[in-house]
Structures are given as C-alpha cells and as structure tokens.
Amino acid sequence: MRWDIFCRVVDNFGDAGVTWRLARQLHGELDAEVRLFIDHLPTLARLDHRIDTELAEQRLSGVKVCHWGNDLVVDRIADVVLETFACDTPEPYLEAMAQQSPPPIWINLEYLSAEDWVGRCHRLPSPHPRFPLIRYFFFPGFDDQTGGLLRESGLLAERDAFKASLETRQQFWATLGLQHPDEHTKVVTLFGYDTMQVHDLLEAWVHGPQPIRCLIPKDTPLAQRVAQQMACRAGLDHASKGALCVVWVPFRDQIDYDPLLWASDFNFVRGEDSFVRAQWAAHPMAWHIYPQMGHAHQIKLKAFLDRYLQGLEADLARRYRALFAAWNGEGSIADAWNALWPDWGKLEAHAQAWARQQADLPDLAHNLAEFAGKLL
C-alpha cells in the first residue's frame, strides 16, 4: 500500500518523533511505500541528523520526506492518507481525494491516552461535511480495544540482548566517554519540559544514600537549568556534588535513544515518544506529561496511572503515584523520590511485568495496516 502521512509540529519533539518512527516501521516491516509530509524539518533533524533541512524532498530509511509548506503540489493520492494528531489534511489534497473513485482510506491518528472513552471511539467513522469522504479515528492505547503502542518487531529482543551483555553495555558507556557504573551507582536519565522544577530533586540526590549518575541531554532548557544549579562553568560535560554526578550527554538520534534508556535504572521522560520507549525499556520511570489548559493533562495522567499501577501493593502504588504527581508539579519531588528508595526492586519487577503485558498486544503499525487493509 502507498501511504501519505501528514504531520504538523505543534511543540517539542513528540509529533515528529511518533510519525517518523511510524513511517519507518510501515516501510521497513510492512513494505509500504511511505511519504511523510512534515512542516518543520529542523525538529525532525534533531531526531535524525541525516535530515537536510534545506531539501524540499529527500529519502531516508526508505521513506520519502517532504517539506509541507504552502506550495504543496498534489501529484498523486495515496491508498492510505494518515493525518497525525488532528493536523488536518491540506485542502488541495482533500479536494483531490474526493475526486478519486474509490476514495483513499483516510485515518486520523490521535494522541495516546489511557482514558476509558478511547476504546469506545477507536476506529469510529466521521463523514466529511462537504466531500464524499469518511475519516476514521484511530487511537493508540494500552489494551486490545485500541490501536496499541509503537513497537518494532525486534525491539524487545535487542533490549534483552543489550541488558544481558556486559561487553555491549561497556561499549555503550565508552561511546559517552564514561566507565560502566559500578553496582552501587544508580543511573538516571532526566528529560522533561522546562516547566519542571528540578532543584529539590537534585538536592535529594546530592544528599542521598547512594551514588547517582544523572544523564541529561545537552542543548535543552532543562540542561541549562541544571548546569546553573550545579554552578558549572560553561562547556563542562560533567559535574559532581555530594552523591550526585551529572553528565551532559549529546542529544541522541531517535534510533540511538533506546540504549540510553536500557542502560539506566530510572528514566524521567516527557511527551509521548520517549514515554512509550521508557515503558519498553522495562525500568522504573516517571512521565512528565505535556501541560494543557485547565489541567486537562492531569486527567490523562491519572488514567494512565490507574492502569500502570495495577498489581502493585496499595502503599507502594500510592507512593509511586506521588512521584508522578510531584514530577508534574504537585507535591515534593524530593520526598516522593526518597519514599520509593526502599522498594526499588519491586518497581523494577513491576516495570518488567508491565512491558511483558503490553508486548502481548499487537503493535500500532501492524494494527493500522490491518485496519486499512480491511477497508481497501
């Protein structure tokens, strides 16, 4: 099948990250002919250094990447038209779709959510008010009533092989100019929006009972804030204080991000793409959800935690929920972190069980292709 995917970068990396990962999997595993129309190439270039921001068209990983500007030329219509995150298919393309007989399959890929209503709305049709077209709403999710999560076919085997091989892990740390951490050191990745207050968290690590190696991607507002708190000179790659060693690591390409999560003991993540990858890493994590007007994001966060925390004993689930709340600005992040320390092993086991549970479900790309295939 031929797929045309449309993506508008609203903010940060999630929109581009999800669509770029999906486009590559549709081509690589399902042999689809894929074009990705994206309106902001610099954002995509942060996730894949091979992207040339000056080119209107380029082909990478088998996907044709097209800059989506005001001068869009509709040269053909795909079998499946996928608009991501309600970005709206451009009007000239929509008009051309309406002239096709039969029209293409038109799907709107929605944001990931664990809310109960998602399963009821998944795959629902919506007729266009002016054109003889039907748009279907497709929801990623965490159960078999939704479209599932993005997961490449070999991802979990690659993860397990990485974790099982000391040599592979040592080679990974060497690429960062670091020694493999000793058994007493906990490694934490820190990736969050600039709204996050990190001062108390860093202080908890500085005065904590165990050495912490904190990895922060360079050239992000959060990295700059941490550097100020650690009183670093500009340009340093690491700084130590008390039990804490902060390491500023290069902002990694999307395909190189997973090993960073696999090599760490705890991952603070944000948005949607890194949020899903942290779950596949099968380590404890905390999600900094994108803030929305009227605190609507808190409803979405609660829905996820209601699912994710199932199976944990009640008191530990309460403490883990408090960490997520504090990471999103409600409560003391230092107190929440310290309260979880005695039960680290239980959190690790729970993260592994959750990843196995999700892996039993079909992945998003295959679910999308199956759905579109039945409609053609």
- Which of 358, 350, 295, 292 lies closest to 146, judged by CA? 358
Q: Do residues 336 and 317 touch, judged by C-beta distance below 8 A? A: no
Helices (H), the chain: 14-30, 41-47, 91-98, 117-121, 155-164, 166-175, 199-206, 221-229, 257-262, 273-281, 296-308, 314-327, 333-340, 344-359, 364-375
Q: Is 91 a catalytic residue?
A: no
Distance CA 217, CA 190 (A): 8
Quickly tell me which residue has 């397990």 as its tokens: 160
Tell me whether residue 11 is one of the annotated catalytic residues. Answer: no
Distance CA 1, CA 97 (A): 16
- Residues paired with 213 in a beta bridge: 187, 245
d(CA 347, CA 286): 11
- Among candidate residues 4, 39, 258, 272, the one labeled active-site is 272
Are 3 and 32 a contacting pair, CB within 8 Å? yes
- Residue 10 tokens, joined: 């609203």
Question: What is the spatial distance between Cα 158 and Cα 153, in angstroms, rounded to a whole number?
Answer: 10
Residue type, 148: G
| Catalytic-role residue among 4, 15, 83, 258 | 15
Judge whether 44 and 14 are in contact, CB under 8 Å: no
**Sign of the four-CA dihedral 40, 44, 49, 50:** negative
Contact 5, 19 (CB under 8 A): yes
Tally DSSP H helices, then E strands, for the chain. Answer: 15, 14
Distance CA 277, CA 255 (A): 11
**Cα–Cα–Cα angle for 182, 184, 186, rounded to 5 degrees:** 90
- Catalytic machinery residues: 15, 272
